[in-house]
C-alpha cells in the first residue's frame, strides 16, 4: 500500500457545485495532514492543514479527517473555474517534518 | 506567510554538465530544508533533507554523489545536480519551515526549478 493514495481523476464538476476530494493513508503517515493546490508548472500552495479528527472549515474549503478509517478529504463549496488544478494530499510521519505526498487529483470545474 | 525563494526558475543544460539550484528562506531561519523532485503528472518525491551545518540525509534510491546538497547558513540550501543526464530532467522544489516550530507546522515551498537536460 502506498503511504498516501489519491484517485488521479480528473474529477469534473460544474461551476457552483461541491467538489469532494479524497485521500487515504497508511499507518506510517499518521501525524498531520495537508491539502495543497498545484497549478501546472507551479509549486504547491497550502490550502488546509488538519491534525485532529473531525472537520475544519476555512472559507469555501472544509477538510475532514477520520483517523480510524485513515481517511482525509477536502470539500470545495461553490466551485469556481479558477479552482481547476491538481490537489495534493500530504501527510507527515511522527517525528519528521518532511511530507509524503499522494499522486494528486486533477479537478476540472466546468463554467 | 513565510517566503521561500528558489532560483533559477528554469534551466536548460547539456548532458554532462552540473547545475546548481538555490533555495533561500527570505523572512525566517530554517535549520532544515527539504528537496523534492516531481516528474510530469507524478507527485512530489522527497529526495533529501538538508540540515544546516551538517550532512544531508538522502532518501533511499537517491544518489548522494550525484545530488550534492549544501546548507551552509540558516537561510540558504543549494542542490547541485552533477553530470546531469536527460533522465534528470524534472521539476525540483525546495521547502522549509521556520526553525523552532513543531513537527506539525506547515512547510513553505519555493517556486520550483524546471531542469531540462539535452
A18 part of contact set with chain B, CB < 8 Å: no
What pairing do the DSSP bridges indicate for beta strands B10-13 and B113-117? Answer: parallel
CA gap B49, B55 in Å, rounded: 9
CB contacts of B114 in chain A (<8 Å) are 41
DSSP, residue by residue, A47-103: EEEE-SSEEEEETTEEEEEETTTTEEEEEESS--GGG-EEEEEEEE-TT--SEEE--
Residue pLDDT, tens place only, B16-30? 999 999 999 998 888
Mean pLDDT value of segment A9-35: 92
B109 part of contact set with chain A, CB < 8 Å: yes
Residue B81: what pLDDT?
97
Q: B113: which 3 cell numbers?
A: 526549478
- Check whether the bond before A7 is cis (ω within 30° of 0): no
Mutate one of B37, B69, B107 to test the A interface: name it (highest A CB count within 10 A).
B107
Decide: B84 and B95 in contact? Cβ < 8 Å: no
Residue A79: is its pLDDT beyond 70? yes
Q: Residue B29: which H helix or E strand, with range?
A: none
Mean pLDDT value of segment A26-54: 90
Least confident of A57-61, A83-87, B4-8, B71-75: B71-75
Give bridge partners of residue A21 from the DSSP assignment.
Answer: A74
Residue B1: what pLDDT?
63
Residue B89: what pLDDT?
96
Q: Which of B92, B64, B94 is nearest to B76 (CA)?
A: B94
CB contact under 8 A, A42 and B32: no
CB contacts of B46 in chain A (<8 Å) are 98-100
Residue B101: what pLDDT?
58
Can you list the residues of chain B whose pLDDT is less than 50? 103
CB contact under 8 A, A97 and B103: yes
Q: How many other CB atoms are found less than 10 A from the CB of residue A79?
A: 21
Residue B100: what pLDDT?
64
Higher-pLDDT residue of A37, A95: A37
Residue A69: is its pLDDT beyond 70? yes
Chain A residue closest in CA terms to B1? A46
Residue A77: is its pLDDT beyond 70? yes
Residue A54: what pLDDT?
95
Mean pLDDT value of segment A82-95: 91
Residues ≥6 apart with Cβ < 8 Å to B102: none
What pairing do the DSSP bridges indicate for beta strands B4-7 and B19-25? Answer: antiparallel
Residue-averaged pLDDT of chain A: 92
Residue B41: what pLDDT?
83
CB contact under 8 A, A92 and B97: no
Amino acid at each position: 500500500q502506498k503511504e498516501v493514495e489519491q484517485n488521479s481523476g480528473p474529477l469534473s464538476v460544474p461551476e457552483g457545485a461541491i467538489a469532494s476530494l479524497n485521500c487515504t493513508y497508511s499507518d506510517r503517515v499518521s501525524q498531520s495532514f495537508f491539502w495543497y493546490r498545484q497549478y501546472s508548472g507551479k509549486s504547491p500552495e497550502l490550502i488546509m492543514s488538519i491534525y485532529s479528527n473531525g472537520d475544519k472549515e476555512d472559507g469555501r474549503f472544509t477538510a475532514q479527517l477520520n483517523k480510524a478509517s485513515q481517511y482525509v478529504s477536502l470539500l470545495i463549496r461553490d466551485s469556481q473555474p479558477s479552482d481547476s488544478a491538481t490537489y495534493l494530499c500530504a501527510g507527515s510521519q511522527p517525528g519528521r517534518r518532511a511530507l509524503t505526498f499522494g499522486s494528486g487529483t486533477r479537478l476540472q470545474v466546468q463554467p | 506567510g513565510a517566503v521561500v525563494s528558489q532560483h533559477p526558475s528554469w534551466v536548460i543544460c547539456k548532458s554532462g554538465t552540473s547545475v546548481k539550484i538555490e533555495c533561500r528562506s527570505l523572512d525566517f531561519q530554517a535549520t532544515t530544508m527539504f528537496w523534492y523532485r516531481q516528474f510530469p503528472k507524478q507527485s512530489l518525491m522527497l529526495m533529501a533533507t538538508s540540515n544546516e551545518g551538517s550532512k544531508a540525509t538522502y532518501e533511499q534510491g537517491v544518489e548522494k554523489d550525484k545530488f550534492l546538497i549544501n546548507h551552509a547558513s540558516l537561510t540558504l540550501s543549494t542542490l547541485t545536480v552533477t553530470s546531469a543526464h536527460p533522465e534528470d530532467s524534472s521539476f525540483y522544489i525546495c521547502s522549509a519551515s521556520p526553525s523552532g516550530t513543531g513537527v506539525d507546522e506547515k512547510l513553505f515551498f519555493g517556486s520550483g526549478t524546471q531542469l531540462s537536460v539535452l
